[in-house]
Structure 1
Amino acid sequence: MNLKEVKNVAREKMKGYCRVCPVCNGIACAGEVPGMGGSLTGSSFKSNVEDLSKVKLKLKTIHNAKNPDLTFDFFNTKLDIPIIAAPITGSAFNMGGALTEEEYIDSAVNGSLDAGTIAMIGDSADPTLYESGLEALKKVNGKGVAILKPKENEVVIESIKKAEETKTIAVGMDIDGAGLITMALKGTPVGPKTVEELKEIISSTNLPFILKGVMTKEEALLAVEVGAKAIVVSNHGGRILDHCQSTAKVLPEISKSVKGKIMVLVDGGIRSGVDVFKMIALGADAVLVGRPIIFGAFGGYKEGVSLIIEDMKNQLLQAMILTGAKDLSSIDESMISIEW
């Protein structure tokens, strides 16, 4: 099995839902929500990819970074790479259903582990999908993260308790899911959270709490205030708000405002190991990857997921060698130029 074969199989299995384009940039699928596209015009999805492409690497080859260290410490769990599979549910209504929800989750969780990293599992309007995710993590001794939708507090806290029983590494909330059309269609109330509501949720657990969906420095500082241990700079893949800023563009300001106070993760438009390098140079500690993981799962189950991640790892390694970065902490804004 190789990457070309994985993508060809994925393209066939996802026909009518995703074209698995040569460049996954949100143009062909604009407005396809539910589905794999971005909201309305698809501008937010497209901007994530476009703006990241405007970040350029500076080639340097006179240095001693011959064997870069790619390892990343994620809440006392050592990962081989700073890449984590993003929390994704909805195989049936977003991806065509060629894989059952259980098959997709198992592929993401086990394929990530085989590649030296972990996956996040997601929540949805259907509570059985979250249960399936927890079951997959239980089988691997909790080596993953449970991310919840911004439902009513009592529902969220109950779900956190289930994650604790599974012994997950961390828990969190994709608060940017507050406006998901798919949730509304299923009749499940979700919405924004106040500072007080977040404090109640976070104080209910001793697990590290991740707040996903932060797009301004003001809300990054609020995440620190409410006790979150990590944020994910994310606009939900451009699927919730049209004409939203890209994650690459807002990341530097957000990172500078909270660096050292909280772990900074980011997603949105990341398609290669070079993109991972760019996001770290812009201020991230690590990244979440979504659509490439989907293609890997549909194209080759856990082996496909592992192959996708390993390919990104090799690309990141090459980028670090050719820019003089001996480890992740060495990657900074001096190694890139920005053309926006």
Structure 2
Amino acid sequence: MDIKEIKKNAKERMKDFCILCAECNGRWCAGKVPGMGGAVSGGSFQRSYEKLKEVKVAMRTLHGVTDPKLKRNFFGEELSFPAMIAPITGTKFNMGGYVSDEEYSNDIVFGAIDAGTIAMIGDTGDPNCFQVGIDAIKRANGKGIAIIKPRENSEIIKRIRLAEEAGAIAVGIDVDGAGLVTMKLFNQPVGPKTLSDLKEIISSTKLPVIIKGILTVDEAKICVEAGASAIVVSNHGGRCLNETFAPAEVLQEISQAVGNNITILADGAVREGVDILKYLALGADGVLIGRPIIWGSIGGRQEGVKVTLETFKSQLYQSMILSGADDVKNSKNFSCILYTKKV
């Protein structure tokens, strides 16, 4: 099975929830929420794609980098490359239903392990979606991360306990899900979090806590003050609020402000291995991959997820050779490989 076969299968199976456009820029699927698109006009989804696309890499071949190092440690786990699977749920109402939420969770958790990395399982209005993700992590002896919607603190802490019982590597809150349409449809209240809210949640567990959905320096600093282990610079795939900044626009500034104090992950519009390199050069320690993993699961199940991740890893390796980037652990020094000084 190769990536072309996976995409072909996924296109046939997704029932027009996603038609796997030649350029996955969020235009065809604009407004399809629930579904695979961005909110309202799809502007935030499209901007995430376009702004990352504007970042260009300087090809450099007069150097001695012939075997770049891709391994990176996150939350006590050494990963084969600095990428993890983004938390995505709702296979029936977002992806067409070819795979169930249980099947999708198993595909991503075990497919990620096969590729030497880890998956984040997600939370949504249907409580079954989170539970099947937790069950997959438990079967994988804890090799996974549980990301929880910004519910009431007591509800978040209940779900953290489930993650702890499953042996999860880390937990997180995707605070950018504070206004999600899908949560409202299921009558599941979510909302913003204060500094004191975050402190209460973080102090409730010994697991590393990730705050996903940060787009400004001031909120990145709040996460540091609260004691978070990591942030994800993300606009939730443009699926919550239209007309937001793109992660690629704000990542450098955030990294310069807090990069020495907290792990920084980036999420949004990662479509090939060179996109990982761009985010690393902009200041991320690692990235999350979302939409292509959906195609991997639907187009090839667990093997499809593994092949998708290994394809990204191979592309990143080649991109590093052709730009002179020697080791992902030195990603804070990668900015010199970009043509653009300012995104």
| Consecutive aligned runs of 4 or more in structure 1 exceeding 2 Å deviation | none
Read off the aligned partner of 1:87 and give its amino acid letter.
P
In structure 1, what is the equivalent of residue 337 of structure 2?
A: 335
- 1:60-115 deviations in Å (ceiling 9; x for gaps): 11212111110010012100010100011000110111101111111111111111
How far apart, CA to CA, are the structure 1 residues paired with 2:29 and 2:309? 24
- Write the letter of the residue equivalent to 2:240: I
- Between the aligned partners of 2:243 and 2:48, the Cα distance in structure 1 is 11
- Tell me the residue number matched to 1:177: 177
Alignment of 1:1-340 (within 5 A): 1-331=1-331, 332-338=334-340, 340=343
Inter-partner Cα distance in structure 1 for 2:124 and 2:27:
26
**CA–CA distance in structure 2, aligned partners of residues 95 and 18 of structure 1:** 7
Taking only the aligned residue pairs, the percentage that are identical comes to 52
Q: What CA distance in whole angstroms lies between the structure 2 residues aligned with 1:194 and 1:335?
A: 38
Q: How far apart are the structure 2 equivalents of 1:3 and 1:262?
A: 34
Cα deviations by residue, 1:120-157 (Å, 9 ceiling, x for unpaired) = 00111111111100110111110110000001111100
C-alpha displacement of 1:329: 3.2
> TM-score, with normalisation over the residues of structure 2?
0.98
Deviation at 1:325, TM superposition (A): 1.2
Q: Equivalents in 2 of 1:112, 1:264: separation in Å?
A: 20
CA distance in 2, matches of 1:283, 1:161: 32
| AA in 2 matched with 1:334 | C
- Supply the distance in 2 between the matched residues of 1:134 and 1:295 (Cα, whole angstroms): 22
How far apart are the structure 2 equivalents of 1:26 and 1:326?
33
Shift of 1:330: 3.4
1:118 CA drift (Å) = 0.5
Helix, strand or coil at the partner of 1:171: strand
Q: Which amino acid aligns with 1:189?
A: P
SS in 1 for 2:36: coil
Segments of 5+ residues of structure 1 without an aligned counterpart are: none
Please give the alpha-carbon distance, in whole angstroms, between the structure 2 residues aligned to 1:42 and 1:297.
24
Q: Deviations over 1:211-234 (max 9, x none)?
A: 000000000000000110000000
SS of residue matched to 1:287: strand
- TM-score scaled by length of structure 1: 0.99
Letter in 1 for 2:45: F
1:45 aligned partner, one-letter code: F
1:56 counterpart SS class: coil
Distance in 1 separating the partners of 2:84 and 2:259: 20
Distance 1:143 1:169 in 2: 6
Offset of 1:337 from its aligned partner?
Answer: 1.5
Please say which of residues 327-336 and 137-146 is displaced more in the overlay: 327-336
Q: Which amino acid aligns with 1:293?
A: I
Q: CA RMSD in A?
A: 0.9
Q: Distance in 1 between matches of 2:172 and 2:329?
A: 25
1:123 is matched by which residue type in structure 2?
D
- 1:85 maps to a residue whose letter is I
Q: How far apart are the structure 1 equivalents of 2:259 and 2:152?
A: 30
Shift of 1:16: 2.4
| Distance in 2 of aligned mates of 1:18 and 1:60 | 36
Count of equivalent residues: 340
What is the rounded CA distance, in whole Å, between the counterparts of 2:323 and 2:288 in structure 1? 22
Gaps of 5+ in 2: none
